[in-house]
């Protein structure tokens, strides 16, 4: 993996945090922050796919799809149309809603939701793609 994509990702995260801090509301107002990762190179895609595979080994996930929920009032779903896809929806907290639909072959995606009341719905189309979304709600 080259350093250039990492620098771009870090710069983007810093810009998002600075922008959000200027628009911040009181903590009681509620809200969420989402970070979506879509690798732009084959090396970055392989690195993300490896990370998702390590997650699956650590959590003893067997098969191509997994929903892991810790908390209350969460809802999740995964639909896969194709072969060799891997998808995970991981929810910790309460009131999350998340779905993942994969169309094609050899795709990998992880939707990770923490805190409360996040809403994430992902559609992944194509062949051999990888991605991840991280959401934090308050």
Decide if 2 is inside a domain: no
Two structure tokens written together for 71: 């908390």
- For residue 8, is it within any domain? no
pLDDT for 64-94, tens place per residue? Answer: 999 999 999 999 999 999 999 999 999 999 9
- Give 2's strand partners: none
Could you report the per-residue pLDDT of 19-32, keeping only the tens digit for each? Answer: 555 554 445 568 99
CB 90 within 8 A of CB 112: yes
The distance of Cα 134 from the centroid of its chain, to the nearest Å, equals 4
Query: CA–CA separation, 74 vs 41, rounded Å?
Result: 34
Domain of 118?
33-137
What is the predicted pLDDT for the residue at 2?
Answer: 54
Q: What is the model's pTM?
A: 0.78
The average pLDDT across 37-58 equals: 94
- The answer to the question of residue 130 being in a domain is yes
Q: How many domains does the chain have?
A: 1
Asked if residue 58 belongs to a domain, the reply is yes
Query: Is 1 among the domain residues?
Result: no
- Mean pLDDT, residues 99-105 taken together: 97
**What mean pLDDT is predicted for residues 31-55?**
94
Residue 26 forms part of a structural domain: no
28 is a domain residue: no
For strands 130-137 and 32-37, give the pairing.
antiparallel
Q: What is the pLDDT of residue 87?
A: 97
Residue 116 lies in a domain: yes
């Amino acid at each position: 993996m080259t350093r250039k994509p990492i620098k771009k990702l870090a710069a983007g995260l810093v810009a998002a945090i600075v922008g959000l801090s200027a628009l911040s509301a009181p903590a009681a107002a509620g809200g969420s922050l989402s970070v979506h990762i879509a690798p732009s190179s084959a090396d970055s895609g392989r690195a993300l796919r490896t990370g998702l595979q390590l997650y699956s080994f650590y959590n003893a996930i067997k098969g191509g799809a997994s929903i892991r929920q810790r908390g209350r009032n969460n809802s999740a779903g995964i639909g896969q149309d194709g072969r060799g896809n891997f998808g995970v929806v991981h929810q910790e907290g309460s009131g999350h809603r998340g779905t993942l639909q994969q169309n094609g072959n050899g795709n990998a995606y992880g939707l990770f939701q923490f805190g409360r009341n996040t809403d994430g719905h992902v559609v992944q189309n194509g062949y051999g793609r990888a991605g991840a979304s991280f959401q934090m709600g308050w």
